[in-house]
Amino acid sequence: MKKLYENQKHSIYELQKMLGLDCKRLYRYADKSISIEKMPVNIILGISNIEKLEPNELFEEMKRYLR
């Protein structure tokens, strides 16, 4: 399973569906086509809410994992 961070509970597909994003949006960040630094805040907040993480913690985990 492609991930945005190591201990991700939901698949990228599930996250996209829950957030109402197009089918490739989060995959572009996971495969580094788009830098995680450019992810909109509303998406980070949405994922952090779903995954039950603080937004800053989630962002730092994504940066570490995708290096």
pLDDT digits (tens, 9 = 90+) for 16-53: 999 999 999 999 999 999 999 999 999 999 999 999 99
Angle at 50 between CA 3 and CA 44, to 5 degrees: 65
- Looking at residue 34, the DSSP 8-state letter turns out to be S
Q: Considering just the CA atoms, what is the radius of gyration of the chain in Å?
A: 10
Q: Count CB atoms within 10 A of the CB of residue 38.
A: 8
Residue 1 has pLDDT above 90, yes or no: no
How much is the average pLDDT of 56-60?
98
Q: Using the structure block, give the residue that is written with the tokens 């992810």.
A: 39
- Looking at residue 37, the DSSP 8-state letter turns out to be G
